[in-house]
Amino acid sequence: MNALNRHRALTAIWGSPRGWRGTAASVNHSDIGRRFIIAAFAFFAIGGVLAMLIRAQLATPGSAFVGSEIYNQLFTMHGSIMMFLFAIPMFEGLALYLLPKMLGSRDMAFPRLSAYGWWCYLFGGTILIGSLAFGVAPDSGWFMYTPLSSKTYTPGINADVWLLGVTFVEISAIAAAIEITVSILKVRAPGMRLDRMPLLAWYLLITALMMIAAFPPLILGSILLEVERAFGWPFFDPDRGGSPLLWQHLFWLFGHPEVYIIFLPAAGVVSTVLPVMARTRILGYGWIVAALLALAFLSFGLWVHHMFTTGIPHMALGFFSAASALVAVPTALQIFAWIGTLWNGRPELKLPMLYLLGFFLIFVLGGLTGVMLAMVPFDWQAHDTHFVVAHLHYVLVGGFIFPMLAGAYYWLPHFTGRARVPKLGEAAFWLIFVGFNVTFFLMHLTGLLGMPRRIYTYSEEMGWTWLNLLSSVGSFVMAFGFAMFAIDVALQIFLSRRSRRNPWGSGTLEWATPIPASAYNFASQPRVEDRDPLAADPDLGLRLARGEGYLAEARHGRRETMAVDITTGAVDHVVVLPGNTSLPIITAALTGSFFLCLLFGFYWLALAPVAGVIALGWRWAWVLGWREDLGPVSIRPGETAPTHREAPGAPGWWGSVFLLVSDAALLGSLLFGYAFLWVVAPNWPPPELIGGGIPVGLMAGLAALAGAALTRRAASASKAGPASSASRAAAGAIGAQAVVIAGLMFVGITELPPPGSHAYAAICWALLTYAALHALLALLCAAFLRARIGSGHVSGSRRLEASVAQLFGDYAGAATLIVLLCVLAPAVMS
């Protein structure tokens, strides 16, 4: 088969049909990645317009441009849009688009999940922006402190929009995190050992792992607050044993890692682009990876530095202050590794390099003010002033936007296949750079002169007039810069001349694809022997197009890509990916209607979309797989490998593992809340504890154990024994999980005080609900397994579904036992 025919055959398999049907059904990672990037940029523009309105209002003292009611919506939406609808999705888009190409593979591990995440993001973002248009946008600040955001003080739906909209969008973040983790760990080109991965993949892997652990506290907090608002369960109400501080802990347990989640991918872009601009290799690859691990670990121990003024004892503050300072060390390590790389090479002042220099100056200043704020006494003064506003923009704009702009100019030829229009980009850079510093450098001083954040106006006597005016002027200069950037990109897409392949002379694999990239990335997948495969073999792209790699054969209309051993990169199996489907968009639409039902208070109606999502989830899993064994398939002349359903450690199994890790983080946060309320909240101990329920609890616990054991039994029997015994075991597991659910609910209803009476009862009910939902999930998994055994999809060698059902059974069992232990502990002790 020649290169052109192979291109046609592969495009037929991997491409998306034209028209709106194709758009709705595409699951291709390049499509989804591009959409994420474009939408994120659009949200950035909206957030930017809000910022301009903020600056217009603050430009002069006593301004009557907008009142406080609107101003509160402006800054809340500005912050929330920038954090949730711009920064995170922008990096997700970049990861979705680039990762498979950099890893030498053809798509991400779970294409339908990417598409689902995309639609959730789009619909959720639309709900948030829609609220702005209707004047009911969230207005309690981007961290939504209770009690201000609780029903008493925010009676309208403003806060519900935030809680539900952001949670909806966070579904896409969790989806992306799992997707990125598994794709990096498993779906790489053969031979790419972990230590041969491009550094960006390391950055993204660590970022994704952080997201898996960091988003659950926020999701949990949002659920609890929404339940408090909707049903009056008083998790955060101090009069009924709740604590406003619990919200702060949950929020910042997410919020601090969040800033590193935003920074790390951008730092990964620096580590990728900078060595190419200096025509050398990165200095200290291993050290940088170690620094990233340290950073990820430390960033979970810093959240209290956002709460230095909440009255936590000084010794505890000292601990968090030290940890916050410590986190500067791995950051400094990276900075000097980058500078050392520049010294080693011959850096050229091309446009991406210009943005990187801007990054260095701005980010270093932001890091230094960060260390200042980590010093407890200084934070007592600077906290909640414009000094913090300056700091956070130095870090976010310097640490995210500048590297991303460098990356944009670096990879744009890859997206468009075209070269850049000269000069315009440089002009945009200077406007953004100068405008940024004028806006925010002065703001440090404004803050030290006492200007609090989130005030909508000030009087002349305060002495902030000139500083504010200059800040506003600077922000408009910056806005012009961004507009110019957008024009520059548009010109490049529509007018510019074609670019040659690999215009920067880079060594990473994404430049071995044709540009713009084809739907399948690589006509055949490379064997990787080097950290910079293209530097070692500049003709690699052509050889791959000629079919001199893995999986060169387009067969049976299947989307095939290689999966490897996690550490060694040895060939493991062939993943057969699902093709285009409209399941993701339909599921996302139903998910969205669930959130809308909650938003408008139709709580019973909300059960309908839930049932729909369950049904679609079932179908989602059902449409894959085969009724017969495929056996080993050829991957290269003379070499074969099994397909993923017939190999242990398939992506689906790993994805389930990481989903459950995230789920465990959610349970952990809930248990943290339970302990926190016992120890810290006012009006404890509660007037009434759990009355008893030990016998029923014991029974539910035993049923949970039986459920897990029977699922395991069904899994192992489906391997060797007759199908009928596996089927019976699965039916037993279904029954056991039903008993668990009934037992948990019985304990709650008969023994616990009503959930609205006290935070104690509310959080116990939350724990019971958590366990019951997981029993339900395990029940569905067992039922699915049973149906698949019946239909012949599970066999002695096709093990994937049995192993996943077993995971969920085990997890539900463990979760039920932990929950019962915590809920029944007071009854046991009394």
Partner 1 sequence: MLHRLCATITALALGGCSGPLSTLDTAGPAAASIATLWWAMLAGSAVLTLLVTALLAMAFIRRPRKVPGTSLWIGWLGVAMPSAILMLLLGFALGLGEQTIARPSTKTVTVEATAHQWYWHFRQPGATSAIETQNVLHIPAGRPVDVRISASDVIHSFWVPRLAGKMDAIPGHVNVLRIEASRPGEFEGQCAEFCGLDHTNHRFRVIAHDEAGWATFQLGERP
Q: Tokens 């039916």 appear where? A: 731
- Out of 5, 11, 23, 309, name the contact with partner 1 by CB under 8 A: 309
Say which DSSP state 518 is in: P
Place of tokens 């609780």: 150
- What does 409 interact with, of ligand HEM, partner 1, Cu ion, none (CB < 5 to 8 A by kind)? none
Kindly list the distances between the CA atom of residue 94 and the CA atoms of 208, 269, 485, in Å, as whole numbers in the listed order.
13, 10, 18
Residue 297 sits in the site that holds partner 1 (CB under 8 A) = no
CB under 5 to 8 A by kind: which of Cu ion, ligand HEM, partner 1, none does 256 bind? Cu ion
Binds partner 1 by CB under 8 A, chosen from 5, 8, 17, 153: 153
Smaller CB separation from ligand HEM, 86 or 429: 86
Nearer to Cu ion, 225 or 327 (CB): 327
**203 Cβ neighbours under 8 A, 6+ residues apart:** 264, 265, 267, 268, 271, 292
Strand partners, 562: 574
Nearer to ligand HEM, 54 or 613 (CB): 54
Residues comprising the chain, all counted? 830
Residue 365 contacts partner 1 per CB under 8 A:
yes
Taking a C-beta distance cutoff of 8 angstroms, is the pair 650, 800 a contact?
A: yes
Place of tokens 């966070």: 170
455 binds partner 1 (CB under 8 A): yes
634 forms beta bridges with: 640
How far apart are CB 685 and partner 1 at their closest, in Å?
15
Shortest distance, position 325 Cβ to partner 1, whole Å: 4
What does the block give as tokens for 241? 């044993």
Using DSSP, state whether 5 is helix, strand or coil: helix
Q: How far apart are CA 625 and CA 623, in angstroms?
A: 7
385 three-state secondary structure: strand
* Element containing residue 577 per DSSP (H, E): strand 571-577
* 255 interacts with partner 1 by CB under 8 A: no
User: Could you say which of Cu ion, ligand HEM, partner 1, none residue 475 binds, taking C-beta under 5 to 8 angstroms by partner kind?
Assistant: ligand HEM
Residue 726 CB, nearest approach to ligand HEM (Å) = 52
Contact stretch for Cu ion (CB under 5 A) within 56-64, 74-82, 253-261, 626-634: 253-261
Q: Which residues inside 214-253 make contact with partner 1, applying CB under 8 A?
A: 238-239, 243-245
681: contact with partner 1 by CB under 8 A? yes
Q: Decide whether 39 or 108 has the Cβ nearer to ligand HEM.
A: 39
| Per-residue contact flags (x/-) with partner 1 for residues 486 to 525, judged by CB under 8 A | ----------------------------------------
Task: Give the residue with the Cβ less far from partner 1, 81 or 726.
Answer: 81
Cα(769)–Cα(737) distance, integer angstroms = 14
439 binds, among ligand HEM, partner 1, Cu ion, none (CB under 5 to 8 A by kind): ligand HEM
Question: Within 267-286, which residues bind partner 1 (CB under 8 A)?
Answer: 278, 283-284
With CA atoms as reference, report the closest residue to 716 among 656, 805, 792, 652.
805
From the list Cu ion, partner 1, ligand HEM, none, which binds 817 (C-beta under 5 to 8 Å, kind-based)? none
Handedness of CA 739, 741, 744, 746 (dihedral sign): negative
Please report whether residue 391 would count as binding Cu ion according to CB under 5 A: no
Closest separation in Å from C-beta 7 to Cu ion: 49
Instruction: Tell me: does residue 722 bind partner 1 (CB under 8 A).
Output: no
Q: In this structure, what is the dihedral angle of CA atoms 424, 426, 429, 434, given to the nearest 10 degrees?
A: -110
**How many degrees, rounded to 5, is the angle at CA 762 between CA 761 and CA 768?**
90
Tell whether residue 256 is a contact of Cu ion (CB under 5 A): yes
Q: 444 — phi, psi (to 5°)?
A: -55, -45
CA distance 241 to 207: 36
CB 345 → partner 1: shortest distance, Å? 8
What's the one-letter identity of residue 300? F
Task: List the x/- string, 453-482, binding to Cu ion by CB under 5 A.
Answer: ------------------------------
- Sole binder of partner 1 in the list 130, 135, 156, 318 (CB under 8 A): 318
Beta carbons of 57 and 71 less than 8 angstroms apart: yes
What is the residue-wise DSSP string for 118-133? Answer: HHHHHHHHHHHHHHHH
| Distance between CA atoms of residues 466 and 446, nearest Å | 9
Q: Which is nearer to ligand HEM, 50 or 192 (CB)?
A: 50
Q: Does 766 bind partner 1 (CB under 8 A)?
A: no
Six-digit token string for 770: 């958590």
225, 467, 761, 830 from 684: Cα distances, Å: 20, 48, 12, 17
Residue 107, number of CB atoms within 10 A of its CB: 27
Least Å distance, CB 762 to partner 1, is 16
Look at residue 735 and give its three-state secondary structure: helix
Q: Which residue of the chain is nearest ligand HEM when measured via CB?
A: 79
Per CB under 5 A, the segment of 248-256, 425-433, 517-525, 533-541 that binds Cu ion is 248-256
- Pick one of Cu ion, ligand HEM, partner 1, none as the site partner of residue 747 (Cβ within 5 to 8 A by kind): none
**CA neighbor of 241 nearest in space, from 685, 765, 764:** 685
Could you tell me which stretch among 250-258, 682-690, 702-710, 791-799 binds Cu ion (CB under 5 A)? 250-258
Q: Mapped to the 3 state alphabet, what secondary structure does 67-84 carry?
A: CHHHHHHHHHHHHHHHHH
3-class state of residue 418 by DSSP: strand
Q: Which of residues 371-400 bind partner 1 (CB under 8 A)?
A: 371-372, 375-385
Minimal distance, residue 678 CB to partner 1, in Å? 15
Which partner from the list ligand HEM, Cu ion, partner 1, none does 142 bind, CB cut-off 5 to 8 Å by kind? ligand HEM
Pick the piece of the chain touching partner 1 (CB under 8 A) from 413-421, 456-464, 563-571, 818-826.
456-464
Residue 156 CB, nearest approach to ligand HEM (Å): 18
**What SS3 class is residue 219?**
helix
Q: Do residues 819 and 753 lie in contact, with contact meaning Cβ atoms separated by under 8 Å?
A: no
d(CA 430, CA 474): 12
Q: How far is Cα 185 from Cα 181, in angstroms, rounded to an integer? A: 6
Which one, 196 or 256, has the nearer CB to Cu ion?
A: 256
In this complex, which beta carbon is closest to partner 1, that of residue 69 or of residue 688? Answer: 69
Among residues 12, 69, 619, 698, the one that binds partner 1 under rule CB under 8 A: 69
Using the rule CB under 8 A, which residue among 45, 60, 63, 145 binds partner 1? 145
Coil, strand or helix at 641 = strand
Residue whose CB is less far from ligand HEM, 86 or 674: 86
Residues of the shown chain interacting with ligand HEM in the complex, contacts defined by CB under 6 A: 48, 51, 54-55, 75-76, 78-79, 82-83, 86-87, 141-142, 389, 392-393, 396-397, 400-401, 439, 453-454, 475, 478
Distance CA 617, CA 611 (A): 10
Q: Shortest approach of ligand HEM to residue 296 CB, angstroms?
A: 20
The nearest distance, CB 55 to ligand HEM, in angstroms, is 5
Contact residues for Cu ion, defined by CB under 5 A:
256
